[in-house]
Structure 1
Amino acid sequence: MSFSENKLTVRSSADLATAVPYLIGFHPSDGSIVVIACRDRRIVFAARGDLPAPGSPAHHLRDLTAHLVPIVQRQQPISDLVIVGYGAQGHIDPALRVVGDEFTATGLAVQELLRVTESRIFSLTCDDPACCPPQGTPFDPNTSLVAVHATVAGLVARPNRAAVSSRFTAADSVGAGIRHAMTEATARMAAVETAGSTAVYEAGVHAVRGALRQHDDGTRLTDDEVAWLTVLLTHRPVRDLAVDLTQPHDQHVTFWAEVTRRADEPLVPAPATVLAFTAWRCGDGVLAVMAAERALQVDPDYPLAVLLLQALHTGLPPSVVEQATTGTHPSPFSPNPNISSDQE
């Protein structure tokens, strides 16, 4: 099995267990389930969810599966699935069997059900002790060639979801520097607005192009530049321009993560949404979901963030939202199909 974009080869269940954190962007915690869709022995999609706690009503697990099935079905053509659960046998094994049966009932072929408990992986579908011993197969991600190759390919597996959110959320309130910069930027915007919307847009073009150019050159934005950029992004045409000018690569994901982290709280929705769209285009569904959720924490009705989150939760590609929001042809930027959205 290979990741179709990065050509990372997975030859065993231990390799697959090592690869999962790179597929979803972080190490799954106990109680997680990951559905991996394959096409001709290539991994093309992965979705993660939280299993209901032990003792939960049976319909909670059915509801989770009902949510995951259509997301996976949209990734056609798919040849088969591997479903991986994390945690103790008593909690995970029954849940895996239920989820596997539900997927099978829809006509999707479930190749394997795997449970990861600490540093061992167990197969629920193979009873050959030669390849799948009942005591599990040990694996060490730290010594696996899959981890080495994934790192070389630029894939990152963070310790947990909190480590993902720390990229774009401030550890504490913004400092005095950015607050002073915001006061000046707000006054500056009031002056520009007196000249009309065209003047605001032209200022936005200059600010967005300049900020991206600075980042590409390795220069960090000052507090004044962050404040001015985020004030301008409150104007929809400027935000949409930022989406258009941002390229789907890690450097621009890092740029918008930093702008979102440094933005004054009321101005977070616009840069967080640009970050979400950029991460989505890069195939990082986990970061995209969390950035969109961050935008909606500040403004629950922010339209583009609402639209993005709905699309991410249903497994749609970025081109669908691009067509809906612009009415133009799909973007030439195609998403990396290997790393998909984290389904909560």
Structure 2
Amino acid sequence: MEPHELVPVPPSTTPPSPSGGPTTLRVRTPGDVAAFVPLAMGFVPQRSVVVVSVGASGGMHARVDLPHDPDDVDDVVEALLRPARRNGVRDVVVVVYDDDTTVADEAAWSVHEEFTAAGIAVREVLRVHDDHWYAVLPGAPLAAYRGVRFTLAEHPFTAQAVFEGRVTHASREELRETLAPDLAAVGRSGPLLADATPLPAGGLRALVRRHLGDRTTFSAPELAAVAVTVRTGERRDEAWVWLDRADARGAVELWSDAVRRLPATHVAGAAAVLAFAAWLVGDGALSWCAVDRCRESEPAHSLAGLVVQLLESATPPDAWATLQPGLDASGDPAA
């Protein structure tokens, strides 16, 4: 399956803002839908099929890459429908991003048909391209099929996001680049990593807690010790099994900084912890990017695999309060 994001957050809201809880956004028009999707995803989708659940509380938002071959559309529909059923989604809008109407319309109508057959009401289907939204379902005014211009930067949703300090990236690749190595910082880490020793038992948890409380980042010697500590599962679990949603935003900032400063030889553990923290805060797109960064170095990384399960099932972050007590100190299910 191509890269995709499943974002289990309440409909009609964006993911939690950097300053606190989610902000309610009332989506009333097709233009509102077109402006809302990039905020929900964290970036402007390209060649994508996006499903946004609307109406009742709960649900999910999901994005899957649009295939080049119409014969592969069924796989896309299944990737979207499976978690929608699991999350009890009842009403959705569908947005397809592409200028190729052949594949885009095939995907749009297939999602509409299969979701409807599954008892999920499809309230709207749009195609978005080049700052225009286009109606797909019958019954819209003629102008809507010809394309209605909208300006994302000028929409009130975008203004609200800017006010709250939320960043919407121009593409998934731009979001991914936020985790790219800082070559100067990586160069400074190398010599320290060569001589670093793991932190004592309990040391990693205490260090992370202190930095979260102080809103600071690891010093260079601390980062070296952290990097060699999180390379083993039992010690790495000190960094994440105790996190809750109140800690998650700070943990994303702390571990994002660590990932940018570590070389490929030592980045997998930190990237996996970041992937978990990003899922916990409700940022599915960043979580997937962190998983990618981890698996570039260690394809079979165990914590990354756990996060993938959470993402692919669209498990909501609120479920962590239920899952967490079932883990022992090693991060494995308790007996």
Which residue, 1, 14, 35 being the options, matches 1:18? Answer: 35
Within-5 A mapping of 1:123-202: 123-129=135-141, 133-172=144-183, 175-185=186-196, 188-189=197-198, 200-202=200-202
Q: Which residue of 2 aligns with 1:339?
A: none
Q: Which residue of 1 aligns with 2:75?
A: 63
Q: Which residue of 1 aligns with 2:109?
A: 97
Q: Which residue of 2 aligns with 1:51?
A: 66
Task: Go from structure 1 to structure 2 and tell me whether the alpha carbon gap of 1:274 and 1:178 turns closer, same or farther (over 3 Å shift).
Answer: same
Instruction: Letter of the 1:273 partner, please give it.
Output: A
Contact 1:18–1:144 (Cα < 8 Å) also in 2: yes
- Local SS of the residue matching 1:35: strand
What stretches of structure 1 of length at least 5 have no aligned partner? 193-199, 330-344
Task: Quote the Cα distance in structure 1 between the aligned partners of 2:315 and 2:59.
Answer: 14
Task: Go from structure 1 to structure 2 and tell me whether the alpha carbon gap of 1:67 and 1:120 turns closer, same or farther (over 3 Å shift).
Answer: same
Q: Which residue of 2 aligns with 1:227?
A: 224
Q: Which residue of 1 aligns with 2:12?
A: 2
Q: Which residue of 2 aligns with 1:108?
A: 120
Contact 1:158–1:164 (Cα < 8 Å) also in 2: yes
Instruction: Letter of the 2:93 partner, please give it.
Output: V
Contact 2:134–2:146 (Cα < 8 Å) also in 1: yes
Task: Quote the Cα distance in structure 2 between the aligned partners of 1:160 and 1:289.
Answer: 14
TM-score normalised by the chain length of structure 1: 0.80
Instruction: Letter of the 1:287 partner, please give it.
Output: L
Q: Which residue of 2 aligns with 1:317?
A: 316
Task: Quote the Cα distance in structure 2 between the aligned partners of 1:263 and 1:184.
Answer: 15
Task: Quote the Cα distance in structure 2 between the aligned partners of 1:101 and 1:27.
Answer: 26
Within-5 A mapping of 1:255-294: 255-294=254-293
1:39 equivalenced with 2:89 (yes/no):
no
Contact 1:322–1:328 (Cα < 8 Å) also in 2: no
Contact 1:141–1:147 (Cα < 8 Å) also in 2: yes
Q: Which residue of 2 aligns with 1:82?
A: 93
Task: Quote the Cα distance in structure 2 between the aligned partners of 1:220 and 1:91.
Answer: 46
Instruction: Letter of the 1:271 partner, please give it.
Output: A
* Greater radius of gyration (CA): 1
Q: What is the deviation of 1:271?
A: 1.2
Percent identity, aligned pairs only, is: 28
1:119 equivalenced with 2:136 (yes/no):
no
Task: Quote the Cα distance in structure 1 between the aligned partners of 2:137 and 2:58.
Answer: 19
- Local SS of the residue matching 2:303: helix
Q: What is the deviation of 1:26?
A: 0.4
- Local SS of the residue matching 1:134: helix
TM-align CA RMSD: 2.7
Q: Which residue of 1 aligns with 2:212?
A: 212
Q: What is the deviation of 1:323?
A: 6.0
Q: Which residue of 2 aligns with 1:239?
A: 236
Task: Quote the Cα distance in structure 1 between the aligned partners of 2:60 and 2:150.
Answer: 23
Contact 1:205–1:238 (Cα < 8 Å) also in 2: no
Task: Go from structure 1 to structure 2 and tell me whether the alpha carbon gap of 1:280 and 1:295 turns closer, same or farther (over 3 Å shift).
Answer: same
Q: Which moved more, 1:307-316 or 1:243-252?
A: 243-252
Q: What is the deviation of 1:159?
A: 1.1
CA offsets 1:258-317 (integer angstroms, 9 cap, x no match): 111212322212211111111111110111122122222211222121121122112123
Task: Quote the Cα distance in structure 2 between the aligned partners of 1:164 and 1:300.
Answer: 21
What stretches of structure 2 of length at least 5 have no aligned partner? 1-10, 15-21, 329-335
Q: What is the deviation of 1:96?
A: 0.8
Q: What is the deviation of 1:33?
A: 0.8
Contact 2:186–2:263 (Cα < 8 Å) also in 1: no
Number of paired residues?
A: 308
TM-score normalised by the chain length of structure 2: 0.82
Instruction: Letter of the 2:54 partner, please give it.
Output: C
- Local SS of the residue matching 2:75: helix
